[in-house]
Structure 1
């Protein structure tokens, strides 16, 4: 019988919106017990980011990153609410928060305060700019960080305005970095016996995402331009229009593949001195792409894909979201999961982590607001009378 990788790990989740909850959902999928702390009445603001929403009224946005969690409503601005969180911290392994730097100190829930309660606690913070530096006090938003980090300066058509990525990619990438940091801190705890502060920021994560383009600048001092769908160091490696107005991606990574492309297209471009190697093709990019684009218009997308795939040339269509989620490969890999919720079913995106011995588990749909408040407080030792009083006071 298989177990889950993080079975026995208890997580107090003070995060909200996308980046932090994406990290805690990943931990929950891996088997951790995650208790999501939400404000009474309002809850996580993404509960109200609708439409679209499911039949039971749960917003699609909230459902993206909140499965496998319990929902406990607590007003942490009250002494009684702070006491509840402190009791939870006593036997917790991880606390995740995405408040502005210093925002939890007034509640006695900052790292220095809570590590005195539980020195083994891994305290994970996800902020816009990190806990150090001249901008650490500023709030962080994915869109703003995409601009600040340089990501938008290299995204979009060569002419016109810079573009953001179509999803909040910095939030999601930062959430993954937080998971890595949390798991590293848990492993370190087995050696040292103590927890530590995990400090991940949106800006740091976005700068890391610059990857080879950022390294191109460090190597040359040049400012990388926007190239639209082209690649700064490989040609041809971009989108082409085909007959009928459809598009395909051709990813030709070396000279052998380019020779195969030329053979498929019935051309001898690879025998021309200006196109014979990739560095030369990069220098003469515009001339080659013009020739190729003209030829691509002679056949449909599917016709080109068929012959390129037969020649083992990397290529692919540009699917819309419905087409992508209906792909047999996506279905076979269980990347769309159906979960029961409120007498109906909802579909959610699956986890990309596939473990052979300790697989992820899909246990519960995104919770209703406060649905686990009574059970969590009961487990903490609160009596029915005490819980009722807290409810009457608006603490929970």
Structure 2
């Protein structure tokens, strides 16, 4: 039995952050019902990566909305809104990621829904919270990465800003919402009272950078100094970084520089290694020069038996073909309505050894209206 079985979640969400939270709750057994506009559904149905679609919906939509149900309703129509309010009375959790004030205008704010269902856990995601000059700014991932300093932190010293190649703000914020909801459900089991759980994309990215922001705030306000070559962490000393080999790249983590210098036979930096941070650029340049002379596998064969922390920098071909990847059993197949199969990832959580697969595809718009008619539930 999945741990969240029989939990009913209403998802008033679109695109990435809110649906990612709904996905995790569905993976763990909750009945997640997407509330969508009739006809077109939520905007994420047309949000495609590399313009990949399966039927009328993007591959991305199928990936992040698998194992959910769909109830279509026009929230501005009094009759449809009445039905939604009946669903709310039967729900355990409601989540949304609209801009501040939208749900309140519809009569579906926290206090409104609490009057309908005093035990309701109400979770909301905003871009920048409900106060401040940014509160109505679009909560888009790249914009958040840029505002929060994250894009500026990546890359080498003289590089322009380098954003993540992923929607990192959306996914982390969705994870935070799930954590808050599960905590509220535990509290409700004791008090029988509903609760409001609030998260926002900007706070999630601030939390994501807790170690570097904390260092900055306690280092006289000085900005982090990125390494000139192979930067991987602006506040860590050599050899931490990524280095080219003769046929690829090698990542090196924290390591005793005396030990590494002897292993690589680069005694010329012996006077520099007393301060691996202040002399980081010169030390990393010497390490880079040594590593460039041989292949990645050559160095792995030396470093791994010596317990030097390192790893090959792999592309997806190399990674997904490796036995280590296959041992994780992280892939699953979703069977689409037309019979085609879509390969995607599964829930990363195991409980008592159980793997949680969810082969059901994303729902069609309003595909469960009849089944979920609140007058019949």
Counting only pairs closer than 5 Å after superposition, residues 47-86 of structure 1 correspond to structure 2 as 47-50=45-48, 51-86=50-85
Bigger shift: residues 157-166 or 130-139: 130-139
Unaligned runs of 5+ in 2: none
- Aligned equivalent of 2:202: 203
Counting only pairs closer than 5 Å after superposition, residues 356-367 of structure 1 correspond to structure 2 as 356=352, 359-367=355-363
Offset of 1:84 from its aligned partner? 1.8
Partner of 2:124, secondary structure, is: strand
Q: Does 1:233 align with 2:229?
A: no
Give the distance between the partners of 1:109 and 1:327, measured in 2 at CA: 49
Bigger shift: residues 367-376 or 181-190: 367-376
Q: Is the 8 A contact 1:54 1:346 kept in 2?
A: no
Residue number among 366, 371, 381 corresponding to 2:375 in the alignment: 381
Give the distance between the partners of 2:151 and 2:264, measured in 1 at CA: 34
Residue number among 257, 273, 282 corresponding to 2:277 in the alignment: 282
Counting only pairs closer than 5 Å after superposition, residues 27-38 of structure 1 correspond to structure 2 as 27-38=25-36
Q: 1:138 to 1:230 in 2, by over 3 A?
A: closer
Summarize deviations over 1:16-63 as a string: whole Å, max 9, x none.
Answer: 100000001000001111001111111122222335435545312212
Unaligned runs of 5+ in 1: 384-396
Summarize deviations over 1:232-283 as a string: whole Å, max 9, x none.
Answer: 2231010111113x111111x242xx3443343234468x24314xxx0111
Q: Is the 8 A contact 2:13 2:95 kept in 1?
A: yes
Offset of 1:217 from its aligned partner? 0.7
Partner of 2:225, secondary structure, is: coil
Q: 1:61 to 1:214 in 2, by over 3 A?
A: same
- Aligned equivalent of 2:3: 5
Partner of 2:88, secondary structure, is: helix
Give the distance between the partners of 2:365 and 2:212, measured in 1 at CA: 43
Summarize deviations over 1:67-123 as a string: whole Å, max 9, x none.
Answer: 110112211121122112111110101000001111011211111111100010000
Counting only pairs closer than 5 Å after superposition, residues 144-183 of structure 1 correspond to structure 2 as 144-183=143-182
Residue number among 248, 251, 259 corresponding to 1:249 in the alignment: 251
Query: Structure 2-normalised TM-score?
Result: 0.92
Q: 1:41 to 1:302 in 2, by over 3 A?
A: same
Give the distance between the partners of 1:179 and 1:55, measured in 2 at CA: 28
- Aligned equivalent of 2:13: 15
**How many residues of Structure 1 are paired with residues of Structure 2 in the alignment?**
371
Partner of 1:283, secondary structure, is: coil
Q: Is the 8 A contact 2:15 2:47 kept in 1?
A: no
Give the distance between the partners of 2:41 and 2:86, measured in 1 at CA: 21
Give the distance between the partners of 1:60 and 1:370, measured in 2 at CA: 19
Query: Structure 1-normalised TM-score?
Result: 0.88
Counting only pairs closer than 5 Å after superposition, residues 329-344 of structure 1 correspond to structure 2 as 329-342=324-337, 343-344=339-340
Partner of 2:308, secondary structure, is: coil
Q: Does 1:309 align with 2:304?
A: yes
Bigger shift: residues 338-347 or 131-140: 131-140
Q: 1:7 to 1:358 in 2, by over 3 A?
A: farther
Offset of 1:157 from its aligned partner? 2.8
Give the distance between the partners of 2:268 and 2:124, measured in 1 at CA: 54
Bigger shift: residues 141-150 or 89-98: 141-150
Partner of 2:251, secondary structure, is: strand
Higher RCO (C-alpha under 8 Å, 6+ residues apart): 1
Summarize deviations over 1:277-306 as a string: whole Å, max 9, x none.
Answer: xxx011111221121111111101121122
Q: Does 1:327 align with 2:326?
A: no
Summarize deviations over 1:105-150 as a string: whole Å, max 9, x none.
Answer: 1211111111100010000000001234453343311111111111
What stretches of structure 1 move > 4 A for 4+ residues in a row?
A: none
Give the distance between the partners of 1:356 and 1:338, measured in 2 at CA: 23
Give the distance between the partners of 1:269 and 1:19, measured in 2 at CA: 50
- Aligned equivalent of 1:90: 89
Counting only pairs closer than 5 Å after superposition, residues 119-138 of structure 1 correspond to structure 2 as 119-138=118-137
- What do you get for the CA RMSD once the two structures are aligned? 2.0
Q: Is the 8 A contact 1:127 1:139 kept in 2?
A: no
Partner of 1:125, secondary structure, is: strand
Quick check: which one's helix share is greater?
Answer: 1
Q: Is the 8 A contact 1:4 1:361 kept in 2?
A: no
Q: Does 1:42 align with 2:65?
A: no
Offset of 1:222 from its aligned partner? 0.8
